[in-house]
Structure 1
Amino acid sequence: MSAIDAQDLIEHYIGVWNEPDPAVRRETVRELWAEDGVHLLRPPQEMHDRAVSLGFGTAVLEARGHAELHARVTRAYEEFVAPGTYVFRIRESARRLDDVITFRWESFHTGEGRVTGGGLEFLVLDGEGRIKADYQFVD
């Protein structure tokens, strides 16, 4: 795994969220994530609060496996990028420690020319350098 270039990996990672071609998006998901890879996201505060009010101790959104990961990436693309409103960009370069890579990303509103959000990505890689766990912390 030492041959994995962390910066190259996160550039592909950000690229898949902006990718307009569904076939390329699907193939990139397969290249980036392990077959049983998982993407975990703490939901927006209002959704989290509603889950807690229903008796859940916490709320976490999860996409597991290539089919669910592709659906997750596709949904984000269709909602934010396809209309031409946003693009996702790397805000802070990759940092790597053994099998973990972290970086910060941002959403950029193309019409307004400004950053509108972002977060921290915490990626855990498997022995082949593919993502086995993807923890997303939205700012």
Structure 2
Amino acid sequence: MSDVQQRVTDYIAIWNETDPAARRAAIDEMWTDSPVYVDPLGVAEGRDAIDAFVGAAQQQFPGLVFRVAGTVDAHHNVARFTWELGPEGGEAVAVGFDVAVFADDGRFDRVHGFLDKVPS
């Protein structure tokens, strides 16, 4: 798990990747064959659904970017981290934290998202 900070940084980069082909290539590389992403706004099962979920978030929040806030806390095959969504260099309009479960090969298998601050 020594490279978990970089893996999480790469995961957040997926949420900011606006080129559909590049985003999908990153999802295919970083996620297992049958991944699940879940947060209070929905459940995405499989790479296609995760790709669509990320694309929908980008459409809902145009011009905003996700960023890791703080250090990633990890042990065994689990990591938790805080993220923010806001304008580049600006104050976050949304804040949450995710708990990621990694497969033995280091790819993301499950991500459970929680929202601490949401836009009004």
Paired residues, what number?
116
1-structure distance, mates of 2:32, 2:107? 5
Name 1:94's counterpart in structure 2. 72
Unaligned stretches of 5+ in structure 2? none
Identical aligned residues as a percent: 33
CA shift, 1:24, in A, is: 0.6
Please report the RMSD computed on the Cα atoms of aligned residues, expressed in angstroms.
Answer: 1.6
Name 1:52's counterpart in structure 2. none
Name 1:62's counterpart in structure 2. 43
1-structure distance, mates of 2:114, 2:22? 26
Kindly indicate whether residue 119 of structure 2 is the aligned counterpart of residue 138 of structure 1: no
2-structure distance, mates of 1:110, 1:123? 25
> What amino acid sits opposite 1:120 in the alignment?
F
Unaligned stretches of 5+ in structure 1? 44-60
Name 2:5's counterpart in structure 1. 7
CA shift, 1:79, in A, is: 2.1
Query: Which has the larger Rg?
Result: 1
| Runs of 4 or more consecutive aligned structure 1 residues displaced over 3 Å after TM superposition | none
CA shift, 1:110, in A, is: 4.5
CA deviations on 1:5-62 (whole Å, 9 max, x unpaired) are 101101111101001211010011111211101001123xxxxxxxxxxxxxxxxx21
Name 1:34's counterpart in structure 2. 32
> What amino acid sits opposite 2:80 in the alignment?
T
CA deviations on 1:78-110 (whole Å, 9 max, x unpaired) are 221xx32x1111112111100001110001134
Q: Which of 72, 76, 79 matches 2:53? A: 72
1-structure distance, mates of 2:31, 2:65? 21
Q: TM-score, normalised by structure 1?
A: 0.78
